[in-house]
Chains A and B, each alone.
Chain A
Amino acid sequence: MTSRFFATGDTSSSESETEYSEESYASGDESSEAESNEEGKGTGLQVGERLARYLRDSDSEEGEEKRVVRSAKTKQQEALVSIIQQLKNHIKISDWISIQSDFDALNRQLTKYYRLDALNDTKKEPPKAYISAIVLLEDFLNKTAENKDKKLSKTNTKAFNAVKQRLKKNNREWEEQIRKFRESGAVPGEDLFDEAEGESSGVDEEQKGETDEESWDDSGVESSEDLEEKPPTSGGSQWLLKTGRKSSQAVVSQKEKKKSKSQAVQQQSTQSLKDSTDSVPAMASKDFGIPEDLPESAVDQKLVEIIATRGRKGTSKRESLLQLELLLKAAKNLVQEMEILFQIISTHFDMIPAAVGFMSPDNWRNCVQCIEKILNLAFEHETQVRFVVHYPSTEALDVSVPLRGSSEEKPNSTEDLSEAKVSLDKEDKRKIVRGDLATVLERIDDDLFRAWQGTDAYLPEYVERLKDEFILLKLLSRAQTYFEKEGELERAARIACRRIQHLYYKPDELLVGMIQSSLQNTRKQHEQSREEGDNQDWVSLDPVLSGLVYQEEVEDDSFRLPIPELPIVQRPLKGEQALLRLAVLVYRYGHESLKSIVILCQIYHHALENRFYEARDMLLMSHLQESIGMLELPLQILFNRAMAQLGLCAFRHGLAQETLYCLQELCTPVHTGLGSSTVARLRELLAQGIVQQRGHEKSVEQERLERNYQIPYHMYLPVDFIEMAHLIAAMVIEVPSLTRAEAQNEAPQKRKIYSRVFQHFLRNSIRQAYPSPPENTRDYIMSASRAFIRGHWKEAYHYIASIRAWESVDTNWTQSTLPIWRNIIQMESLRTFIHSYASYFDSLSVKFLSEWFELSPSRVHSLISKMIMNEELQASWDQPSGCVLMKRWEPNRLQSLCLQLTEKCNQLIDYNERLLDARSGGQTLKTEEREELLKSASHWATNAAGMKKSNAESWLKNRTAAS
């Protein structure tokens, strides 16, 4: 009862003498509505007093009569009505000064009314009376403006102009309602009493069928309000409520049918909507009491309410979702509808179970449908806007203002939609909806990504979720088109970046396959629907087509995918072209980090499509390899993927050196134990599965991070194959260089190391006395290398060809790549053979070599010539006989001794220099070390023959220890 008391006190106070102070208070509080304008104040002040007295009188009478039964709200309504009555009276005598103050009072009343509602958390009512009042005022204003000849007094004119201006401003945001009000045919200023009465009594005579229903529902609202206290009085209202909803649903779905371009999806959507509503128990749905024909301001009110409950304890998200869905049907205008849709989406996001981290497929699809609806609306509205002059063409989706007088609510709703702008600028004539479509799309994309991460790749669910990608792609492409049209290129770039991330890892063949299979599906569907008498162009219905295709006119038909089923114009662009077009958008308008992503995607795709040089040049020009270590994790993963793919591309081209460079870092384990963790390391770097390492515990945080960045299964790169490619490339480079170094007696330290990993493996493998038959990839390659060293290239090739990893990739790859590598192995083994065995021959004929290695004689000739030129081989050709003659030259005893001596001299100087260097370089050696050094030096000096290498090494160690 106390609250009721306060409420009444509040209402009456607004009409008391303290009005002026109230006004100033109000003007501070309500920024937009009761904009106090300076001159209005001055005039309003003197008349205000008189008026207020008048008001109080009339009100007290009314109040006396009805106070007993009415709630605080009705009270307000009455106050409103009384003000309107006053207004009408003043209008009759065209007393503009009074009208002005009436108008102020009206607005004040309205804000109070809203505030009260928000605070008390009660159901809201539409300020129908208010609307009717302002319509009345407007009409009168227009009338007065028309017959200007009728003179007004000076003060009156002043007030008239003030009212005119303010009303104009004020009415702008009520435009929709006013229009509706006018359409409903109600007489402004007349029906307010009736309506007020109608609301209390539940009978409405003047309003037609539509409004009739509304009043029924309104009664339902009221009854539901205090359901606990008193049971619903009329069973009929419940019944009405339900039928009303169903019929309207039918209407909605019909409308949607008209609207929707892709009918199949839409049907699904209505179906699921129905499902969701059906699933709700009848009681529950009634509980929310949201009728379809809720007046528009009430819808807003309701929305605010629901938003306000968001995140509070004890609110069921599911419930609010249902509420929103019901509210959606009640939405009156575009802004409302969009806002509610945005709310539904964010509620969906709220409902993500924390344990799983992503939405259920159904929810996800609902979300997508909501976005689609928003997009549809946006597209439609865009055309609508052309007709209406008042709205400039930008019906921006992400600007805001719709919730009048509830600015304090705003942070609540915007916390989610991070980019929502609040532009309260009234001069901005754009109709405004809060919520950033691009962000929402990005979130939904992320969610799908997480769903892929979180779903077991071997379950059918995974495949289902994969199919969702098409829907998303389609949506993204539409959104991009929209943003491009609207000139919001920065957003379009964001969307384009997302699209690229969906496209880049798909080879053209896969795209063709996908499109073809989906064409078949749609064709089937189409045939079915044709039986049902629906004859739309089946191509345009196809989800994949519209999603993957970059619909742009290109002159060159070779840019398009070869899909014979489609006419040339409808064929989608090849992946490269599509990527290029999207990428250009991002490069021009996108953010820096997006650019990095896109360039890596492009590199990846080039590599995927076997364009090695393009990919390489792009990588080199991007300069990413210099700074990649400092960038964020997902980008690093993408970089690793691009590098791996580039390596594979080089491997397919038979570029051993390049393969090695690309893959080396990926395949080198960090830890000193070079052991078994190559693949594990690779997995970790490519984010393909969480790897537990021995003796290296990961923190929870680290593991969580890793888990977040996992790549979904269908994007995996063949890890085994990468390892194999790396090792094979290393083999054909390392083994010849190894044999060469041995043949020329090079010191092991001097040797150039191409792949440390391979050397390590090879050393281990050679150390084995009895090598076992190969089991894993590495074993195979080690066996091959051993055969390789011996010059048995066929055996080596056999080992390599029988590695299982070849099966893990496309057979086309295998078939095209293997012969290349066979050739390389032939050539390199020829080199190896000559290195290792040249010292045992005096001459070798080209014929023999070409037979042995199955290479053409000219090839053998050119290979050996190259070796001679590079001074790898001391030999020369005997052209007439076609033989290569080995040159051997042995120094005699004196000569070799001389050579040794000079070498020692050089060493002596070296040591001396180092000694001096150590002293003068500021890094003095410890005395014992110096002694040791001197000792070793003197030792060397005395035994000219016996300077051991180990001494030098130990010296080096000492040096490093000292420094």
Chain B
Amino acid sequence: MEYDLTRYIGEHLDRHMVFPLLEFLHAQGIYDEQDILKEKYQLLQKTNMIDFAADVYRQLTGNDPPPELMERRDKVVFALKTLSLECERILKVIEDDELVNKLKEERNFHLNYLQEHYEITAEDLEALFDYARFQYDCGNYAATCKYLSNYLQLQTHSERHLSALWGRLASNILMQEWDAALEDMMQVRDAIDTQGRFALNPLQQLQHRTWLIHWSLFVFFNHPTGRNGIIDLFFQDKYLNTIQTNCPHILRYLTSAVITNSKRRHMLKELVKIVQQESHAYRDPITEFVECLYVNYDFEGAQDLLQKCETTLKHDFFLIGTLEEFLENARLFVFEIYCRIHQVIDLNMLAAKLNMDRESAERWIVNLIRNARLDAKVDSQASQVIMGVKTPSVYEQIVDSTKGLIIRTQVLGQNIQIPFDLEEPSSTVTKSRGSTTDSSWDKRLGPSRRNLMIS
């Protein structure tokens, strides 16, 4: 599959998160089933989900799993027990929901108090972290989530704070708790940017952001408000930088998010700029579609690309859900631009362009006109759409240009009331005059790579 991104995305995901992707590919059937199973097995080998691995092995070969797998299973169980023994004390407290609630109500749920009353030390806490980590490896995400939440509450300053956040995010994603995951994501985002004792260096920040971008795809494309979130997050300068330097393939998701989101239409211009800038580094039908439509105004090309987009989207784990929406919106985009530069359009041609038959195309346009989204008339006899001609209104122009005059005069008046000999500088009317010369090279050639240092 030409435009399959699983490989690139997989690089930046946690091992456990790749399983859904593989399952999806399995269902799609574009790759050899055996290959996928093999991959899955290899992935599982490094986790502690032995039973799952054994299942996959059976699927793969039809034989019973090799004995060393079973041996490992025993080892894992043993390790789990040891770890749980190590943090027995703290587990006792945490497992008791009533106690925890009570403590929380009394605002005593912190390490000092626990240390005094339950003999829980910092080491116990760290052991809890290890235990949670091990649970995660075994695929017990719910437990991981719970332990880590407690860990995060009790331990506020630690090198492992960020790791714990990541762990909770991962388990929330894998449990498909999107609300919690979204919250975690924001926490991780803030944690990456925090300055302080455990601040990351720029390179680490870049890496963490790359991870966050990839992990967040799960959340954004599943959470109801995710479409807004993805645009808001990825268009932040830092994340845009990250995308451009580390993972330009994310542009596909960003593009489709912008196209399917009618409320963030204004980001389109910026998106086009970025897509154009990165076109040498990454292109697929979706970004090409945007480029074709907004840079070259090549409608036929856009039409062809739209079909390619369809197949690409169908095979994308994250975007398959947005397929219909995407196509509808893309069509609308094409039509909108088409209408803006045309006076008279042939309906048959339009129908062909929109991938509809003539009747439904006419209906579609009439609907648009009725919803007052289009200033046009349909000439049914000549089968043409005639656009309303906008003439610039002098009245509007005059109103626009005189709008500011009143305020400016008011300011003038205020300033003039200050006595003449009082030489106080009034800053209200001081405008910045110096013409800014944009000689810096960054501005012209690629604005967003500035923050990356070669180390």
Residues of A within 8 A of B (CB): 587, 599, 613, 616-617, 619-623, 625-626, 657-658, 661, 858, 861-862, 865-866, 868-869, 876-880, 885, 887, 889, 891, 895, 898-899, 902-903, 905-906, 909, 912-913, 916-917, 919-922
Bound complex: CA A324 to CA B139 (Å): 78
Contact B425 A920, beta carbon cutoff 8 Å: yes
Bound complex: CA A879 to CA B299 (Å): 13
Given contacts A868-B341, A889-B392, A922-B425, contact A902 B297 (CB under 8 A): no
CB distance from B432 to the nearest CB of A (A): 11
Confirm or deny: B401 has a beta carbon within 8 angstroms of a beta carbon on chain A.
yes
What residue in chain A is nearest B423 (Cβ atoms)? A922
What are 12 A-B contacts defined by CB distance under 8 Å? Answer: A587-B454, A613-B280, A861-B297, A862-B297, A865-B297, A866-B297, A869-B337, A877-B344, A902-B402, A916-B416, A917-B429, A920-B425
Contact B397 A620, beta carbon cutoff 8 Å: no
Confirm or deny: B63 has a beta carbon within 8 angstroms of a beta carbon on chain A.
no
CB distance from A900 to the nearest CB of B (A): 10
**Chain A residues, CB < 8 A from B280:** 613
Confirm or deny: B394 has a beta carbon within 8 angstroms of a beta carbon on chain A.
yes
Confirm or deny: B2 has a beta carbon within 8 angstroms of a beta carbon on chain A.
no
Contact A623 B453, beta carbon cutoff 8 Å: yes
Bound complex: CA A912 to CA B296 (Å): 46
Contact B341 A876, beta carbon cutoff 8 Å: yes
What residue in chain A is nearest B422 (Cβ atoms)? A920
Mark each residue of chain B from 412 to 454: 1 if its CB lies under 8 Å from any CB of chain A, else 0: 1001101010011110011100000000111011100110111
Contact A913 B429, beta carbon cutoff 8 Å: yes
Contact A616 B344, beta carbon cutoff 8 Å: no
Contact A891 B394, beta carbon cutoff 8 Å: yes
Of the stretches B76-84, B121-129, B360-368, B383-391, the one at the interface is B383-391
**Chain A residues, CB < 8 A from B441:** 619-620, 625, 661
Confirm or deny: B183 has a beta carbon within 8 angstroms of a beta carbon on chain A.
no
Q: What would 14 more interface pairs be, CB under 8 Å, given A658-B445, A909-B408?
A: A613-B280, A617-B446, A623-B450, A861-B297, A866-B297, A879-B344, A885-B343, A889-B391, A891-B394, A902-B401, A909-B405, A913-B429, A916-B429, A920-B424
Bound complex: CA A657 to CA B342 (Å): 30
**Chain B residues, CB < 8 A from A877:** 341-344
**Chain A residues, CB < 8 A from B402:** 902, 905-906
Contact of B431 among A617, A620, A623, A917 (CB under 8 A): A917
What residue in chain B is nearest A874 (Cβ atoms)? B392
Bound complex: CA A39 to CA B400 (Å): 104
**Chain A residues, CB < 8 A from B23:** none
**Chain B residues, CB < 8 A from A876:** 341-343, 387, 389
CB distance from A62 to the nearest CB of B (A): 74
Contact A895 B394, beta carbon cutoff 8 Å: yes
| Residue of B298, B394, B416 contacting most chain A CB atoms (<10 Å) | B394
Given contacts A868-B341, A906-B401, A920-B418, contact A621 B445 (CB under 8 A): no
Chain B interface size band reads 35 or more
What residue in chain A is nearest B426 (Cβ atoms)? A920
**Chain A residues, CB < 8 A from B401:** 902-903, 906
Given contacts A620-B450, A909-B408, contact A869 B340 (CB under 8 A): yes
| Residue of B387, B430, B440 contacting most chain A CB atoms (<10 Å) | B430
CB distance from A126 to the nearest CB of B (A): 57
What residue in chain B is nearest A916 (Cβ atoms)? B415
What residue in chain A is nearest B408 (Cβ atoms)? A909
| Residue of B341, B345, B430, B440 contacting most chain A CB atoms (<10 Å) | B341
Given contacts A620-B449, A880-B344, contact A916 B444 (CB under 8 A): no
Contact A661 B344, beta carbon cutoff 8 Å: no
CB distance from A927 to the nearest CB of B (A): 14
Mark each residue of chain B from 289 to 323: 1 if its CB lies under 8 Å from any CB of chain A, else 0: 00000011110100000000000000000000000
Bound complex: CA A879 to CA B394 (Å): 29
Bound complex: CA A562 to CA B444 (Å): 37
What residue in chain A is nearest B349 (Cβ atoms)? A879
Confirm or deny: B95 has a beta carbon within 8 angstroms of a beta carbon on chain A.
no
**Chain B residues, CB < 8 A from A622:** 454
**Chain B residues, CB < 8 A from A920:** 415, 418, 423-426, 429
Contact B343 A878, beta carbon cutoff 8 Å: yes
What residue in chain B is nearest A865 (Cβ atoms)? B297
CB distance from A38 to the nearest CB of B (A): 53
**Chain B residues, CB < 8 A from A878:** 342-344
B260-300 residues with Cβ-Cβ distance < 8 A to A are: 280-281, 295-298, 300
Contact of B442 among A620, A858, A887 (CB under 8 A): A620
Given contacts A876-B342, A920-B415, contact A909 B446 (CB under 8 A): no
**Chain A residues, CB < 8 A from B397:** 899, 902
Contact A879 B426, beta carbon cutoff 8 Å: no
| Residue of B280, B416, B418, B441 contacting most chain A CB atoms (<10 Å) | B441
Contact A909 B343, beta carbon cutoff 8 Å: no
Contact of B445 among A620, A906, A909, A912 (CB under 8 A): A620
Confirm or deny: B398 has a beta carbon within 8 angstroms of a beta carbon on chain A.
yes
CB distance from B169 to the nearest CB of A (A): 30
Contact of A899 among B342, B394, B430, B453 (CB under 8 A): B394
**Chain A residues, CB < 8 A from B281:** 613
What residue in chain A is nearest B387 (Cβ atoms)? A876
- Top 3 A-B residue pairs of the complex, sorted by shortest distance between their CB atoms: A865-B297, A876-B343, A895-B394
**Chain A residues, CB < 8 A from B412:** 909, 912-913, 916
Bound complex: CA A895 to CA B393 (Å): 10
Contact A621 B418, beta carbon cutoff 8 Å: no
CB distance from A686 to the nearest CB of B (A): 18
**Chain A residues, CB < 8 A from B340:** 868-869
Bound complex: CA A271 to CA B306 (Å): 76
CB distance from B377 to the nearest CB of A (A): 15
Confirm or deny: B371 has a beta carbon within 8 angstroms of a beta carbon on chain A.
no
Bound complex: CA A909 to CA B387 (Å): 40
Contact B341 A661, beta carbon cutoff 8 Å: no
CB distance from B424 to the nearest CB of A (A): 7
**Chain A residues, CB < 8 A from B300:** 858
Contact B444 A921, beta carbon cutoff 8 Å: no
Contact of A862 among B298, B342, B405 (CB under 8 A): B298
Contact B345 A879, beta carbon cutoff 8 Å: yes
Bound complex: CA A858 to CA B440 (Å): 37
**Chain B residues, CB < 8 A from A899:** 394, 397-398
Given contacts A913-B412, A913-B429, A922-B423, contact A898 B394 (CB under 8 A): yes
What residue in chain A is nearest B433 (Cβ atoms)? A959
What residue in chain A is nearest B298 (Cβ atoms)? A862
Bound complex: CA A903 to CA B397 (Å): 11
Bound complex: CA A593 to CA B344 (Å): 64
Contact of A661 among B346, B398, B445 (CB under 8 A): B445
Bound complex: CA A326 to CA B420 (Å): 95
Contact A617 B343, beta carbon cutoff 8 Å: no
**Chain A residues, CB < 8 A from B337:** 869
Bound complex: CA A613 to CA B423 (Å): 55
**Chain B residues, CB < 8 A from A617:** 446, 449
Confirm or deny: B381 has a beta carbon within 8 angstroms of a beta carbon on chain A.
no
Bound complex: CA A658 to CA B277 (Å): 12
Confirm or deny: B409 has a beta carbon within 8 angstroms of a beta carbon on chain A.
yes
CB distance from B435 to the nearest CB of A (A): 10
CB distance from B400 to the nearest CB of A (A): 9
**Chain B residues, CB < 8 A from A599:** 454
**Chain A residues, CB < 8 A from B442:** 620
What residue in chain B is nearest A889 (Cβ atoms)? B391
Bound complex: CA A868 to CA B387 (Å): 15
Contact B342 A913, beta carbon cutoff 8 Å: no
What residue in chain A is nearest B278 (Cβ atoms)? A613
Contact B430 A621, beta carbon cutoff 8 Å: no
CB distance from B296 to the nearest CB of A (A): 5
What residue in chain B is nearest A587 (Cβ atoms)? B454
CB distance from B406 to the nearest CB of A (A): 10
Bound complex: CA A869 to CA B415 (Å): 43
Bound complex: CA A558 to CA B349 (Å): 49
What residue in chain A is nearest B244 (Cβ atoms)? A617
What residue in chain A is nearest B383 (Cβ atoms)? A880
CB distance from A919 to the nearest CB of B (A): 8
